[in-house]
Structures are given as structure tokens and as C-alpha cells.
Amino acid sequence: MRKRAHHICITMLLIAISASKTLAASNPPDLTAGERKSGTILTIWPLLDYRSSPATGYSNLGILGPLFKREHNGSTSKTAIRPLFFNTSSERGEETDILYPIASASSSSDASDIQILRLFRKQISRAGTKGENSDTMLFPFYIKGRSEKYGAYTSVFPFYGDIYERFWRDEYHYTLFPLYGRTVKKGTTSTNWLYPIFNSTTGEHERGFHVWPLYGHASKTGVYEKSFMLWPFYIAEKTGLNTDNPTDSLYLLPFYASSRSPERTATYAPWPFCGTVRDGSGQVLDRYYLWPFWMTSRGKDAETERYLPFYSTARAKDSTTRWIMWPIYRRKQIESPSFTQDKTSLLFFLFNHSEETWPKAGKSRGSSSFWPLYAWNRDEKGVSTFSFPALTEAVIRNDGVERNWAPLWRIFISKWDQNGNGVTSVLWNLFWSEKRGQEKAWELFPLASYRSTRTGTDLLIFKGIFGYSDTGGKTSLSLFWIPLTGWNP
């Protein structure tokens, strides 16, 4: 039995090699129609699919459908063992995904970056420096890096650490967190003991302290004054004292909240569900009946009416967004001299359709998807792509999903341009076809393959067991790859 299977495999390989000819090279999942010239195709579906075009420096080897891929296109190489590994390299650098999105790495002449679940990350920068700047993080336990202003720093959480110019602060310092910690931002120092219970704030003309949640007070002369008792039930703030629009706010949550300034006055009772917002002249701008579901808003450049789940419309300068029976129907429109968009969605991501144009640039693109059935996309060059099924494309559209996961479930994919050129693949090239100008080629493995060029046509049955050729007005037949001479129709 094993010998018989071995002989069958060898026979199929010999048939495929004998039948492989110089054809219009095609790799439908990755090819933009018209990019390839004549080359070689060798198929033993689903074990092997090899295509090359020496004239353009292109070759692609696929093993077991989309599971293994090795592609060369000029100076760019791609290797995939889906979904475990994907690598692409070129003169500009190299990128690698490992079980995307779990881990990735990238490198170039200027920098390198490695990350695992965004928790571990190591970055090396060589741009603009004589040596290397290294930054390593195993969040939140270990952070090491270098600041141009403060120098090298290290953090070993929760024992001891110094961090500079990261996480929205100029400085972080702590010992046995939460026992002691100190941060600095724009000259203001905030010191904590048993964070967040005890805190003191110091700075230029700035003082403050709090014992959370019982009482706290902080002020900066001529800038702000804040205090609270039994947070968050009582909060009083005066901010923007050094501006033309100082604001006085009071919160007695959840019963009452107010904010008053020369430009805007807001009152909520109870907060945040019901309230009114007025401008400096006293004109009503916003009414909140049951925020965020029922509200109206009027402004100089914006207008909103929201009565969810029944109806909602929001207008702001060049854009309009409308909901009907939320979340069933949503439509967003943007119209400006430089950009227009019309986007419709049903049940969030169940169905999406979008058309975008750039009138001045003369460009447009579109996309549509019906989860999980199909995804369609037309790029700025006019190249359209249709694929089935589309398990994530309606929700997530990015290069990582496109190159690591999407090829695994796409049993049908087709690409075409505005000139009628196109490529199609069914079941990872069990059937494939390509049209490029006046040239056509297709194959249904192993039953038949066909090629039509300017010089003639070729038809092969069962990989060449029977063959027909019409070249330059001369026809010929072959049987078991042996030409039948003397035949004249």
C-alpha cells in the first residue's frame, strides 16, 4: 500500500513537471493584475504551487495552500508559516510577526523594535547618535531606558525606580510602591505616601495636600484653586484664573453639578443625566434629558439631536452623522472641497459600505463588507479586491491580519483593475484564472488548463495526458506528452 501511494506521488510530480510550461505567471491572492510578465507555473494542488517570472524578478512558492509561502519580488522577500510566522525583508529593513498580534519585531539601519503582547518591549535607536540608545520594558515590573535630558534610568517595580519623560510625566520616583512615590510635571512636584491616600503638591507659587478621600486642597496663585471633601461627593474648583475665561465649578454628586464662566454656564441635576448648558449671553445651547441617550445641542458650528434608540443626528461643519433605531442603521457624510465621504453601517459592523473621494487630487476609494460573508475594497489606483469569507475584515482592517490570518479562511479571492485585467483564485488555487490585456490563462487542477496569448493557445487535459496547441496558425496534438505528428485538421 505504501509503495503504491509512493508511486502515485512520484507519478503526479512527473506529470506536473512535464506539464509545466511558460505561462502568464499568476498568484491571485497577492498579485495586482498586470504586474507580472510571462513565467513558469508548477501546480500539484494542494501540496505545491510554484510561480515565477524571471523577467520581473518574481517568484512565489506555496505549500499546502496558504500555510507556507515564500515570495521574492525584486529586492523584497516574504516568508510565511501561517499563522505562526511571517517575515518580510527589503532594502529598507525587516519586519517579523510571531502568532500575530502576540509578538513582532522590526529592524532597519536606524532602529530595531521587539515586542511581546505590548508588555515586553525593547527598542534600539541609532538615528542621530554616535552609538545606540536602548529602551527595555517588561511592564510594569522592569523599565530601562535613557532620557536625552536626564540620562539613564531604571525601574524595578514595586521596589525602586526612576523614570524620565515617559507616561505623561517628566519624572517618576518611587520606593516600595505604594509606600512612597513622587512625580514631576512642568515644574509641579506631587509626592505620595501610601498612594493614593496621602499627597502633597509643591511648585512655584503652588501648594496642596490631601488625605484621600476625606479632604484635599491645592492652589496656584493666580492660576487655580481646588478642594474636595468625601470625594467624589463634594468637589469645588476654580480654574483658568490666568485666562480670559476663568471657570468656577461645584460638584455635589450625584445630585447637582455646575460650571460657570464668562463664555459658558452648565447646570446638572442630577448629574450627569439632566442638565442645561448656556452661552455667555444666556442662550440655551444644550439640553440633557437623559444623557447620553436623549439630548439636544446647538452651537455656532455644530448641532445635535439625540433620542436614542429611535433617532439621532449630529452636524458639525462639513460632516453629518445620523442614527436610526440605534444600533441598526448609521450613516456618516463628509462634504468639503478637498474630501468627501459617505459611510453606511448596519448593526455596527454587520454591514459596512464606504465611498471616499479627493476631488482636487482626482482620487477615490471604496470598501464594503458583510460579516462574515464577504469583503470588497477598491484602492486609490482603481484596483478592486473581493474575498469570501471575511471573518474579521468587517471589524479589523490592518496589514497584520491581512498577511497572517486572512489567507487561511479566504476560499475565494478576486482582484481586477479598471482596464479589465484580473486574477481569481478558488480554494487556494484549486481553480485559478488570470487575464492580462489580450492574454488569458486558467487551470482547474488536475482536470484542465488553458492559455491564450498573442501567438496562440494551449489546452492541456489531466496535466498533459492530452494536449492541444494552436501556435501561429499551426495546430498540434499530444498524447501522454508525446506529440502526434502528421495531424492536420
The answer to whether 305 and 313 have CB atoms below 8 angstroms apart is: yes
Percent of the chain with pLDDT over 70: 90
Q: Could you report the per-residue pLDDT of 96-149, keeping only the tens digit for each?
A: 999 999 999 999 988 999 999 999 999 998 776 666 788 999 999 999 999 989
| Number of C-beta neighbours around residue 394 at 10 A | 22
Q: Could you report the per-residue pLDDT of 392-415, keeping only the tens digit for each?
A: 988 888 899 999 999 999 999 999
Is a pLDDT exceeding 80 seen at residue 30?
A: no
Alpha carbons 48 and 40: distance in angstroms, whole number: 13
Alpha carbons 67 and 83: distance in angstroms, whole number: 7
C-alpha neighbours within 13 Å on the C-beta side of residue 486: 0
The answer to whether 134 and 146 have CB atoms below 8 angstroms apart is: yes
Alpha carbons 195 and 354: distance in angstroms, whole number: 48
470 phi and psi, to 5 degrees? -130, 100
Q: Could you report the per-residue pLDDT of 39-92, keeping only the tens digit for each?
A: 788 989 999 999 998 888 899 999 999 999 999 999 999 999 999 999 999 999
pLDDT of residue 128: 63
DSSP character string of 294-307: EEEEE-SSEEEEEE
80 phi and psi, to 5 degrees? -135, 135
pLDDT of residue 395: 87
Residue type at 3? K
SS3 content of the chain, % helix, strand, coil (to 5): 5, 55, 35
270 phi and psi, to 5 degrees? -80, 155
pLDDT of residue 36: 44
Alpha carbons 69 and 65: distance in angstroms, whole number: 9
Alpha carbons 172 and 186: distance in angstroms, whole number: 13
432 torsion bin: left (phi>0), alpha (psi -120 to 50), beta (else): beta
Residue recorded with cell 479566504? 410
Q: Which residues contact 6 (CB under 8 A, 6 or more apart)?
A: none
